[in-house]
Structures are given as structure tokens and as C-alpha cells.
């Protein structure tokens, strides 16, 4: 594996940052942190994405309106000390993890909406960005995203809906003006020990192009990382166009900037990231499917522990853990090699309050859901690693080599179709 090595950063490339910060139930988080050292050591995987908003509003789904009192206890502390003190993980693993800190700006935006503050006023955000820069100074993330805000496009609760309405009422120039001011503040507050990532929304490719060249001419010395944002829910074509443009721009301008695909860690997009030499990515889906869906959704595995390709006809499709298919199912991923998926399924079902008619879930329920999370996550990490290895061997033809290794015809067809734009 290649790596990025600087004083503050030493990560393998390409790197996958699972998101820890999507609100979930307390039980899932406790279990995740308790098992974090097992996961990290097993895969030699140390990179994670955290959201600042999780630290100030809580990691778990709040029972009441979002609040801002957790921050007080975290003020002035290194993030690794916070994790050691407030979660069930141990200091040894925490001292080794590499943290990408995102803002989680839509939770902050929703709080501003909830407090009935004017969304177009920079002052409505002041206490949050001041707290953010202060948090970074002491928290020492390896990479952090500049402070920007906007509504939540995926949530359906009342506050999020109102937030979108208020935001949509603003003219394009007012929206840009707020985020330009916040960018300027972020640059002025740059922390030397951490790398600064500036995300650019790529929903509109022309807008992305002009913003990228503006940032290059104005701030090329200050920016360490460009984040490609806003296209995680778009099709493969859009991602392909955007990354191709970025890759060309970076090469032609000789800009020594790193690149991260925000939310672009889905399996199809991983092929494009490898193709265009994008350094890192993240995605929340493995967590959401395993830990926030009522029944954990399991990936049909594509890659096993030895990075060999499986013979399933429908790899990388999610299927509910309680499906009969998993009554007899061999997965040779590193986690299922420790506890077979069949046993994980039985233990989860035997602890599911709805199936056993109890008031509370048994202890195993959440622990098994975390195992499904690990199983799902492995597929993303393994795919990145395998593509990277193949690309080193055959830079021009690595996707073809990958496809050639898939013995199941149906599976090969499915993956070839998904990524065919890269082979034209
Ligand atoms: Zn597995």
C-alpha cells in the first residue's frame, strides 16, 4: 500500500473512513466502541470519520430537541482522551486511530432553525464555529473539514423540512456569501498540526469547475485536501465526470492537493476512486444498514479474507439477516471466520425482543448487529485494497483484471455493467 506521510498524517492510500457519528441507539455505540480494538487490529485499519456535531449534540439519537451541553465536558481536550474517557474503547487503540473530523453542519443548521435564529446571518453560527475551531485546536484531528452549513436533505422530521424551506428561500448569492465568509474564517483559523479539507459541492459540474479553480488560485498554499461533496446520491456517470475533471485539473495545474470523496465509498464508486487516484473516501451505508435498520441488512460478500473473489451470483446486495438464506451460508470474511454468520443470525434472533416477546433486547442483539457492521464494512475496505494492489500490477488494465477474477458469470456481468463507463 502507498501512504500519505507528513508530521500530522500517516495513512495508507487509498483509505476508507467509516463514519462514526451517525446517530444511533446507545447500545449500538457502546458495542461498537467496546469492539473497536478487535476490528482495528484484525484489519490493520485505523482511519475513521467523526462529526463535530456528534460531540456537541450527542452520538445517540436525542430523545428531546437537539441540545448543546455535551460540549462543555469535551472543551479543551484531545479527541482521543474524550473517547477513552467517555466510551468503552481502550487507550491503546484510540492512540493509534487517524481522525477525519467533519462538521456535521446540517445538525447545527437544524439547531439554528429550532432556535428561530435567522439562517442568513453569520452571527447565528458564531458560537458553533468558535467552538469548532477551539475543539480542533485541542482535539487534534488528523484532518478537519472547514466549517460550512446547509440543511439536511435526507431527514424527514419537521425541523429538517422547515430548514430546507428556509434555506431554499435564500438567493444563491446569499447562500454563497454565508459559506464564503465561513471559508474565510476557516482559513484564518487554520491549525498547523491538522490538515485542512475544503469540500466543494459537485452537483453542478460547471459550478464545481469554477469553484475548484477559484480555490486553486486563491488558497492553494492553505488547502491540503479537496473534498468532493454533494454527489453521493447521484449516479455513476456524474461521479465519473467529476472525478475525471478533478484528476485532470490536479495534474495539469501541478497542485499537490489530496482528495477525498465525501460519501463516495459505495462499492460502484470505489472503482472510480481507484481509477482516478482519489486518496480517500467515506460512507455511512454499512452502519445504517447494520445498525439503524430494524433488521440488520447483510452484504452478500464479494471478497473473502484472502482477498479472493467469492462465487456468489449476487454479491454486494443487501439482504435481511433473518432471511432463510443465512440459515446455511458460508462467509469467509475475517469476522465471519471468527463467528460464522449462521451463528450471528441465531444469536441475534434469540436476543431480538420482538421475536422472543420480551420488553428489552438481550445482550447479544446489539453485539451481533455490530458484527454485521464489521462484515459489511470489510467489503468496502477489501475492495479498495484489492483494486489498489491490482492497479500497482497493471495500471492500465486493473479493472479488467478484477473482472477476470470473478468466476460467477452473473456476478461478473453485474459488476462490469456498473463500472463500464471506466472502460470506454
Ligand atoms: Zn462475513
H or E stretch including 52? helix 52-57
Q: How far is the CA of 330 from the centre of ligand 1 (A)?
A: 8
Q: What is the pLDDT of residue 27?
A: 79
Q: How far is the CA of 331 from the centre of ligand 1 (A)?
A: 5
Q: How far is the CA of 374 from the centre of ligand 1 (A)?
A: 8
Mean pLDDT of the chain: 90
Q: How far is the CA of 377 from the centre of ligand 1 (A)?
A: 9
Q: Which residues contact 72 (CB under 8 A, 6 or more apart)?
A: none
Q: What is the pLDDT of residue 105?
A: 87
pLDDT at residue 225 tops 50: yes
Angstrom distance (rounded) from CA 80 to CA 74: 11
Q: What is the pLDDT of residue 23?
A: 64
Sorted by where each starts, the structural domains of the chain and their CATH numbers stand as: 2-291 (3.20.20), 300-423 (no CATH)
Q: How far is the CA of 415 from the centre of ligand 1 (A)?
A: 20
Q: Averaged over 48-59, what is the pLDDT? A: 86
Q: How far is the CA of 334 from the centre of ligand 1 (A)?
A: 7
pLDDT at residue 183 tops 60: yes
Task: Please give the backbone phi and psi of residue 285, each rounded to the nearest 5 degrees, phi first.
Answer: -55, -45
Of 6-10, 112-116, 248-252, 326-330, give the lowest mean pLDDT range.
Answer: 6-10
Q: How far is the CA of 384 from the centre of ligand 1 (A)?
A: 17
Of the chain, the percentage scoring pLDDT greater than 90 comes to 71
Q: How far is the CA of 72 from the centre of ligand 1 (A)?
A: 40
Q: How far is the CA of 341 from the centre of ligand 1 (A)?
A: 6
Angstrom distance (rounded) from CA 367 to CA 30: 9
Q: Averaged over 219-244, what is the pLDDT? A: 94
Q: What is the pLDDT of residue 412?
A: 97
Q: What is the largest CA-CA distance in the chain?
A: 63
Angstrom distance (rounded) from CA 152 to CA 246: 26
Q: How far is the CA of 383 from the centre of ligand 1 (A)?
A: 14
Q: What is the pLDDT of residue 16?
A: 87
Q: How far is the CA of 300 from the centre of ligand 1 (A)?
A: 8
Higher pLDDT, 138 or 423: 138
Q: How far is the CA of 321 from the centre of ligand 1 (A)?
A: 12
Q: How far is the CA of 301 from the centre of ligand 1 (A)?
A: 7
Q: Which residues contact 117 (CB under 8 A, 6 or more apart)?
A: 124
Q: Averaged over 161-171, what is the pLDDT? A: 91
Structural contact between residues 379 and 302, judged by C-beta atoms closer than 8 angstroms: yes
Nearest to 417 by CA among 409, 376, 274: 409
Q: How far is the CA of 82 from the centre of ligand 1 (A)?
A: 31
E strand spans, 128-206:
143-145, 195-201
Helix, strand, coil tally for the chain in percent (to 5): 50, 15, 35
Q: Is the peptide bond before 14 cis (omega within 30 degrees of 0)?
A: yes
Of 25-39, 217-231, 232-246, 272-286, give the lowest mean pLDDT range.
Answer: 25-39
Higher pLDDT, 295 or 149: 295
Structural contact between residues 163 and 152, judged by C-beta atoms closer than 8 angstroms: yes
Q: How far is the CA of 45 from the centre of ligand 1 (A)?
A: 16
Of 60-64, 145-149, 171-175, 249-253, give the lowest mean pLDDT range.
Answer: 60-64
Q: What is the pLDDT of residue 292?
A: 86
Q: What is the pLDDT of residue 374?
A: 97
Query: Which DSSP letter does residue 19 get?
Result: E
Q: What is the pLDDT of residue 405?
A: 97
Q: How far is the CA of 327 from the centre of ligand 1 (A)?
A: 14
Q: What is the pLDDT of residue 1?
A: 46
Q: Give pTM, 2 decimals.
A: 0.91
Q: How far is the CA of 285 from the centre of ligand 1 (A)?
A: 16
Q: Is the peptide bond before 53 cis (omega within 30 degrees of 0)?
A: no
Measured in residues, the chain has a length of 424
Q: What is the pLDDT of residue 63?
A: 56
Burial class (CB in 10 A: 0-12, 13-18, 19+), 136: buried
Q: How far is the CA of 161 from the centre of ligand 1 (A)?
A: 38
pLDDT at residue 334 tops 90: yes
Q: How far is the CA of 298 from the centre of ligand 1 (A)?
A: 9
Q: How far is the CA of 335 from the centre of ligand 1 (A)?
A: 6
Q: How far is the CA of 37 from the centre of ligand 1 (A)?
A: 18
Structural contact between residues 335 and 343, judged by C-beta atoms closer than 8 angstroms: no
* Residue 29 confidence class, pLDDT cut points 50, 70, 90: confident
Q: What is the pLDDT of residue 13?
A: 61
Q: How far is the CA of 319 from the centre of ligand 1 (A)?
A: 13
Of 76-90, 231-245, 261-275, give the lowest mean pLDDT range.
Answer: 76-90
Higher pLDDT, 67 or 390: 390
Nearest to 226 by CA among 150, 133, 137, 145: 145
Q: How far is the CA of 362 from the centre of ligand 1 (A)?
A: 22
Q: What is the pLDDT of residue 151?
A: 85
Dihedral over alpha carbons 223, 210, 176, 255 (to 10 degrees): 0
The C-alpha angle 262, 73, 96, rounded to 5 degrees, equals 50
Q: How far is the CA of 343 from the centre of ligand 1 (A)?
A: 11
Higher pLDDT, 176 or 334: 334
Which triple of cell numbers denotes residue 375?
462484515
Amino acid at each position: 500500500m502507498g501512504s500519505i506521510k507528513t508530521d500530522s498524517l500517516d495513512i495508507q492510500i487509498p483509505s476508507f473512513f467509516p463514519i462514526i457519528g451517525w446517530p444511533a441507539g446507545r447500545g449500538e455505540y457502546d458495542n461498537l466502541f467496546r469492539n473497536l480494538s478487535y476490528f482495528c487490529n484484525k484489519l490493520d485499519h485505523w482511519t475513521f470519520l467523526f462529526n463535530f456535531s456528534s460531540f456537541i449534540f450527542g452520538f445517540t439519537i436525542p430523545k428531546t430537541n437537539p441540545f448543546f451541553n455535551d460540549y462543555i465536558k469535551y472543551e479543551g481536550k484531545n479527541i482521543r482522551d474524550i473517547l477513552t474517557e467517555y466510551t468503552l474503547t481502550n487507550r491503546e487503540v484510540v492512540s493509534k486511530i487517524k481522525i477525519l473530523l467533519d462538521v456535521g453542519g446540517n445538525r447545527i443548521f437544524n439547531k439554528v432553525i429550532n432556535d428561530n435564529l435567522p439562517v442568513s446571518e453569520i452571527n447565528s453560527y458564531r458560537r458553533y464555529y468558535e467552538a469548532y475551531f477551539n475543539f480542533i485546536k485541542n482535539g487534534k484531528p488528523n484532518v478537519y473539514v472547514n466549517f460550512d452549513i446547509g440543511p439536511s436533505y435526507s431527514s424527514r422530521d419537521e425541523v429538517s423540512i422547515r430548514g430546507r424551506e428556509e434555506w431554499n428561500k435564500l438567493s444563491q448569492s446569499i447562500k454563497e456569501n454565508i459559506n464564503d465568509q465561513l471559508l474565510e474564517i476557516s482559513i484564518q483559523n487554520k491549525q498547523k498540526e491538522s490538515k485542512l479539507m475544503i469540500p466543494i459541492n459537485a452537483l453542478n459540474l460547471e459550478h464545481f469547475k469554477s469553484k475548484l479553480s477559484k480555490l486553486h488560485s486563491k488558497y492553494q498554499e492553505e488547502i491540503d485536501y479537496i473534498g468532493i461533496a454533494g454527489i453521493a446520491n447521484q449516479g455513476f456517470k456524474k461521479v465519473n465526470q467529476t472525478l475525471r475533471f478533478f484528476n485532470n485539473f490536479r495534474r495539469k495545474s501541478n497542485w499537490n492537493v489530496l482528495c477525498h470523496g465525501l460519501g463516495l465509498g459505495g462499492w460502484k464508486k470505489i472503482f472510480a476512486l481507484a481509477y482516478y487516484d482519489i486518496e480517500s473516501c467515506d460512507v455511512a451505508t454499512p452502519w445504517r444498514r447494520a445498525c439503524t435498520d430494524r433488521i440488520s441488512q447483510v452484504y452478500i460478500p464479494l471478497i473473502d479474507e484472502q482477498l479472493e473473489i467469492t462465487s456468489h451470483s449476487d454479491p454486494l446486495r443487501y439482504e435481511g439477516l433473518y432471511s432463510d438464506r443465512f440459515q446455511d451460508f458460508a462467509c469467509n470474511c475475517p469476522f465471519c471466520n471468527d463467528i460464522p454468520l449462521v451463528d450471528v443470525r441465531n444469536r441475534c434472533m434469540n436476543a431480538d425482543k420482538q421475536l422472543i416477546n420480551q420488553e428489552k433486547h438481550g445482550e447479544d442483539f446489539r453485539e451481533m448487529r455490530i458484527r454485521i457492521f464489521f462484515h459489511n464494512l470489510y467489503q468496502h475496505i477489501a475492495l479498495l485494497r484489492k483494486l489498489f494492489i491490482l492497479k500497482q500490477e497493471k495500471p492500465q488494465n486493473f479493472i479488467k483484471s478484477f473482472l477476470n477474477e470473478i468466476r460467477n458469470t452473473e456476478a461478473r456481468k453485474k459488476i462490469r455493467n456498473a463500472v463500464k463507463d471506466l472502460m470506454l
